Amino acid sequence: SQCSEACGRGKRSRKRFYISSNTGACSENLFQSEDCEEYSGCVSPASLPSPQRRTRKRKGPYRKEDPQCAVAEWSDWSPCSVSCGQGYKIRTRVFTLSFVPNRVCEGVRLTEKQDCRSDSCPWTSYYEYDQPSYGKS
């Protein structure tokens, strides 16, 4: 085999096989291993790239104008949360860039909530009727 190291000291090995299947009396060592040195994979210091200082990309909070904070149009308003009385309805929108880790966008809302009221309560007419009188004849 080739030397186990491309640059410096390593090991190389080879294996042999018997030609005949009748090997009961054979005692030859079929595996051989030796030390080796290889320098073809060594890189001289002059050819290495010079280290670059890693600059961190800003990870928020982002401004409303940044592309990470671009949003789609608002959805339609949901139905009112109640069919009678005071409730709320909501609408939503999403970011157009789907995955930005730990995204915080200043001044950008993804949900809006609005109060709603329905006066068509079925039991309001109950009190308009005369109360039955019990025990009177």
Residue found by looking up tokens 């390593």 in the block: 10
pTM exceeds 0.85: no
| Maximal C-alpha separation, the chain | 124
HSE value, Cβ hemisphere, 13 Å, CA-based, for 68: 16
> Is residue 121 within 8 Å of 84, Cβ to Cβ?
yes
> Is residue 10 within 8 Å of 38, Cβ to Cβ?
yes
pLDDT (tens place) for every residue of the chain, 137 residues total: 788 888 888 888 888 777 777 777 777 777 788 888 888 878 776 666 666 665 556 566 888 899 999 999 999 999 999 888 889 999 999 999 888 888 899 999 999 999 998 777 776 555 555 555 555 55
